[in-house]
Structure 1
Amino acid sequence: MATLTHDTVVVSNRLRSGLLCAALSAAAFGLSGPLARGLMDAGWSPASVVIVRVLLGAVVLAPVAAVQLRGDWNLLRRNASLLAGYGLLAVASAQLAYFNAVAHMAVGVALLIEYTAPIAVVVWLWLRHSQKPGRATILGAILGVAGLILVLNLRSGAQTSWIGIAWAMGAMIGAAAYFILSAHAGDAVPGTVLATGGLLVGGFGILAAGLVGIVPLHATTAPVAFQGLTVDWWVPILALGVVTAAIAYVTGIAATRMLGSRLASFAALGEVLAAIVFSWMLLGQTPAPIQLLGGALILIGVVFVRLGEPADDQNAP
């Protein structure tokens, strides 16, 4: 009986710690859009913001990754294609598209569009691997598409940024690549090593594209203005690199390992709420009621999509 009680306490503590890490990760990721929008309004290009964010995050995570690697540099060579794909698709493309989207539309709306990524993953697995979705998954996809239509609010009479929508859809594709590549078994690459390698590849990839003129690179030392607050340029830069990159990835990885991928993915939906709150606080952006309804449908749809997945997560407490 004592052993059973001890095991129950351990599982309860693990669940509590995992949910705390997941909440911290969601809040940290949700802060990235508003901070990036402030920098872009001050004269920074989206590519420059992404480069600084991911490379600074990689510098912070590098010591932890080196410890996890334990001198096994062959592990990196054996998984070079995975690291390259993760860096270019899941990091560079997703972040660059998302920051370009928030430059043309509200942060919360852009993130809600990006969060239709699990539906894209279902379609990909169906077409590529003939994994036919179940009823719950199909219902979730229908709810997600309906929510997306409401989020776009096309019949409101307000001007719709089709450029922003296109960028947000690009971010959705990048996020779908993140889910697919993160689930790749590869050669058992530790989570922090994968994150650090991906951040480095993504950051230097966008930097190279900027140096040859593919994407514009602009930066300024002008103060950054938020709603009722003006700060030096380095304050949001430091927060983007340390908080929204390094801390967000580390706590997200920890949450996944303590909760299992399915429960952690549910908890990660808090990023949308965090982004909406931070956008309201820092930018004064508030979604219309019909967009909030659409966002709720998207999140409910994602939950159904997750519930429709095979229950093969062996790490769940």
Structure 2
Amino acid sequence: MGLALVSAASFGLSGALATPLLASGWTAGSVVLVRIGLAALIVAPFGVRALRGRWSLLRRNAGLIAMYGALAVAAAQFCYFSAVSHMQVGPALLIEYTAPAAVVVWLWLRHGQRPGPVTLVGAGLCALGLVLVLDLLSGADLSVPGVLWALGAMVGCATYFIVNGDESTGLPPIALAAGGLVAGAAVLALLGLVGLMPMTIDGAPVDYLGTSVPVWLPLVLLGVVTAAVAYVTGIAAARRLGSRLASFVALSEVVAGVLWAWLLLDQLPGPVQLLGGALILAGVLGVKLGERTVVGAEPDAVPA
């Protein structure tokens, strides 16, 4: 649980760090590429060391690593930023964060792990909490392209949790993170080269709460904290918690994002958002208790 919460808090920091960069002229594509590319450079040496010369693991799982990088890293990022270019951030996040429900359905259909009533109640509390945290009750316009892009981000997010919880690959968590980040960075760079993801940068300092900082500082934090630390701890957590529980704990990323925006951007959360955060935490507790009543195979048991 500790690892999962560290991962969620790290991922949640990305929005508050990136907002001033986007306001100063950076495009979302350039921020994401720097973030994932820097994380790949940091994690790759540790991933190689964790393999301890077992290169056969890489060859055997090459397809899985490529899929993980393309879907769980690159597609999740690219589709989300494409979604918010067509619709408001709140609804886009709500659609993307239906990923835990997709994980539950996948484990039920693929591995026979039928969720119990406590898990379903916890999932319902999480869904209600998301609606409140994202402040969707005030109304928001939806667009068909935006919804489709957000669903693509949801698929990438669900893939992240399902692959993370699969121990049958034999890959150490940090090796999977390294491979996925390298593959994801390559896909994002390709999208930039062919013009599907606009790339614009600006070297001017950026402001956080009236304090001007050099542009390299938030970029380094984005790569080190919100990508390298976030992916490694997220994979390690999913190996211990299983895909289902890890995906629901990750919903606390939304709560963390609101709190980081408060601390760095002075965007104070309202009482409704705080209530939503409490409901998400209560829902995660319900899903945790419901893990004891899952009917079917052991959590994330995958045939070798």
TM-score w.r.t. structure 2 length?
Answer: 0.80
Q: Find the aligned partners of 1:161 and 1:280 in 2 and give their Cα distance.
A: 26
The 5 Å alignment of 1:49-88 reads 49-88=31-70
| 1:94 has 2:94 as partner | no
Q: Which runs of 5+ in 2 are unaligned?
A: none
CA contact (8 A) 2:100 2:248 kept: no
Q: Find the aligned partners of 1:280 and 1:101 in 2 and give their Cα distance.
A: 24
* 2:199 aligned partner: 217
Q: Which runs of 5+ in 1 are unaligned?
A: 1-17
What displacement does 1:171 show? 3.5
Of 237, 262, 266, 1:284 maps to 266
* 1:156 aligned partner: 138
Larger-gyration structure (1/2):
1
> 85-94 or 290-299, which moves further after superposition?
290-299
* Equivalent residue letter for 1:237: L
CA contact (8 A) 1:91 1:199 kept: yes
| 1:198 has 2:180 as partner | yes
C-alpha change, 1:121 and 1:255, in structure 2 (3 Å) is: closer
Of 3, 11, 35, 1:29 maps to 11
What displacement does 1:177 show? 1.2
CA contact (8 A) 1:134 1:308 kept: yes
C-alpha change, 1:193 and 1:180, in structure 2 (3 Å) is: same
Kindly report the root-mean-square deviation, in angstroms, between the aligned alpha carbons of the 2 structures: 3.4
Residue identity (%): 54
| 1:305 has 2:287 as partner | yes
* 2:223 aligned partner: 241
> Aligned to 2:138, what secondary structure does the other structure show?
coil
Ranges of 4+ aligned residues in structure 1 off by more than 6 Å: 101-104, 163-166, 262-267
TM-score w.r.t. structure 1 length?
Answer: 0.77
CA contact (8 A) 1:65 1:196 kept: yes
CA contact (8 A) 1:225 1:231 kept: yes
What displacement does 1:82 show? 1.0
> 138-147 or 181-190, which moves further after superposition?
138-147
What displacement does 1:23 show? 5.0
- How many equivalent pairs are there? 293
C-alpha change, 1:24 and 1:75, in structure 2 (3 Å) is: same
C-alpha change, 1:26 and 1:146, in structure 2 (3 Å) is: closer
C-alpha change, 1:119 and 1:111, in structure 2 (3 Å) is: same
User: 1:203-230 CA deviation, whole Å, 9 max, x = no partner?
Assistant: 1101111211222222221222333122
